[in-house]
Structure 1
Amino acid sequence: MTSPNDLAALLCSRLCHDMLSPVGALNNGLELLTDEQDPAMRQRCIELLEQSARTSANKLKFFRLAYGAAGGFGDHVPVEEPRELIEALTADDERLSLAWSVSESTLAKPAVKVLLNLAAMGIDALVRGGTLEVGAERNGGATEIAIRASGPKVAFDATIGRALGGELAGSELSGRTAPAHMIHTLAKEQGGGIQYAHTPEALVLGAVLPDPEGMIG
């Protein structure tokens, strides 16, 4: 059994791990800019600083909604918010392309968190680039979410799959698997579930979450 405090600590560890690279690049760029005198090289340093700052901001916005309480005080979130966050993450890598297919105008907050975290897993799986397909629709009183990552080499840690299935807890969890455990718990609390299928060419992640009462499109 994993306590809420332990899970929060693991999610913080994951956030810090993912932020280390862009923030470190900012620090390195500032050091280079301080010592560099050549105008062309200084301009290149500034461009790298801008890129690292943009990447850092995009990741923080993503984590704020995927892990935290962003999205306002309502029960639903406009789909433009998660779309913009996922577009920003895929735009950071020219080898990635995004295919967005969400028919709803709003999604319940639990569905948004599940969608964002599954999309992040799909992006992580495309180690050599590829296409991330994101879909969601309401059907029969439930929100169905489908993420498909396809490319020349699709990698997926089986431990994350076990966390998605609720097979990890306590000391078995880590910062890497905490997001998967979080959305498994979230889906279970909503009366839904999460599934996945992996081959070397594709990773398919799906979730079904019963809609809250009063859900509007």
Structure 2
Amino acid sequence: LEFCALVSSKICHDIISPVGAIANGLEIMEEEADESMREHAMALVKKSASTASAKLQFARLAFGAAGSAGAEIDLNEAEKVLRPIVETGKHTLVWNGPSATMAKDKVKLLLNLATIALDTLPRGGTIAVSITGEGDRVAFEVRCTGEKARIPGEFEELLNGESDRPLDAHSIQPFFTIRLAEAVGMPLSVSAEEGGVTLRAMTA
């Protein structure tokens, strides 16, 4: 139950800002007589609604059931929901994957791994997602390049079993990602090179 509560808390945290902006924009439109201000408020509402929708669609695939047990998900759909999450201004997504379907839990792993990559690039950069292999023998590589790239400390501690801090809404995603990788038989590894960090998940 605590795990479910933390995942719910994370999702709420992710969408509360755009939903709040929608409410603010509607309030301005209701009270403001100046046409230019009303147009600005409408633009804010449209942008925030798009952001909230993107975050909810991502959460549905990355955390939700997204179909029946044993279902597969189109990788093109995975790219579609991931791109607006990554490309918000500072980051660019490069997607190198086949047009195919994949077991939903492996797609969940890929999506969560790609968003953890955002924390490796605090000043922005390029996140290159590569999917190789097929069937039960697949591998994911997420290469993160940019200024001040570094391995997120909390993720590294959890991956190495060195964290003794209680889980919270921030650490629940790396925790979930690591457990998901174990469940689908694709252990994670992370390495830092000059100018970048690489996250990998490979079939054991």
Q: Compute the TM-score of the two structures, normalised by the length of structure 2.
A: 0.88
- Change over 3 Å in CA distance of 1:168–1:98 after alignment to 2: same
Q: Out of 22, 29, 32, which is 1:36 matched to?
A: 32
Q: Out of 148, 152, 158, which is 1:163 matched to?
A: 158
CA distance in 1, matches of 2:178, 2:170: 14
Q: Which residue of 2 aligns with 1:147?
A: 142
Q: Out of 160, 163, 174, which is 1:180 matched to?
A: 174
Q: Which residue of 1 aligns with 2:126?
A: 131
Q: Which residue of 1 aligns with 2:10?
A: 14
Report how far residue 199 of structure 1 moved: 5.9
Q: Which residue of 1 aligns with 2:195?
A: 201
Q: Compute the TM-score of the two structures, normalised by the length of structure 1.
A: 0.83
Q: Residue 92 of structure 2 contacts residue 127 of structure 2 at CA under 8 Å; is this kept in 1?
A: yes
Report how far residue 90 of structure 1 moved: 3.0
CA distance in 2, matches of 1:43, 1:72: 43
Query: Which amino acid in 2 is paired with 1:26?
Result: I
Q: Residue 22 of structure 2 contacts residue 48 of structure 2 at CA under 8 Å; is this kept in 1?
A: yes
Aligned length: 204
CA distance in 2, matches of 1:200, 1:16: 36
Unpaired segments of 5 or more residues in structure 1?
211-217
Q: Could you give the per-residue CA deviations for residues 155-179 of structure 1, whole angstroms, max 9, x where no partner exists?
A: 553112222345447x621111112
Q: Could you give the per-residue CA deviations for residues 122-168 of structure 1, whole angstroms, max 9, x where no partner exists?
A: 23433332211111122694220111222223355311222234544
Report whether the alignment pairs 1:50 with 2:73.
no
Q: What SS is found at the alignment partner of 1:98?
A: strand
Q: What SS is found at the alignment partner of 2:203?
A: strand
- Change over 3 Å in CA distance of 1:137–1:33 after alignment to 2: same
Q: Residue 29 of structure 2 contacts residue 38 of structure 2 at CA under 8 Å; is this kept in 1?
A: yes
Q: What SS is found at the alignment partner of 2:202?
A: strand
Q: Which residue of 2 aligns with 1:214?
A: none
> Equivalences for 1:79-158 in 2 at 5 Å?
79-91=75-87, 93-103=88-98, 105-138=100-133, 141-154=136-149, 156-158=151-153
- Change over 3 Å in CA distance of 1:193–1:49 after alignment to 2: same
Report how far residue 57 of structure 1 moved: 0.5
RMSD: 2.3
Q: Could you give the per-residue CA deviations for residues 28-70 of structure 1, whole angstroms, max 9, x where no partner exists?
A: 2122222222112211110111000000000001011101111
Query: Which amino acid in 2 is paired with 1:186?
Result: L
Q: Which residue of 2 aligns with 1:59?
A: 55
131-140 or 29-38: which moved more?
A: 131-140
Q: Residue 164 of structure 1 contacts residue 183 of structure 1 at CA under 8 Å; is this kept in 2?
A: no
CA distance in 1, matches of 2:26, 2:146: 35
Report whether the alignment pairs 1:191 with 2:185.
yes
80-89 or 147-156: which moved more?
A: 147-156
CA distance in 1, matches of 2:187, 2:42: 46
CA distance in 2, matches of 1:40, 1:57: 26
Query: Which amino acid in 1 is paired with 2:40?
Result: R
CA distance in 1, matches of 2:119, 2:174: 13
42-51 or 153-162: which moved more?
A: 153-162
Q: What SS is found at the alignment partner of 2:132?
A: strand
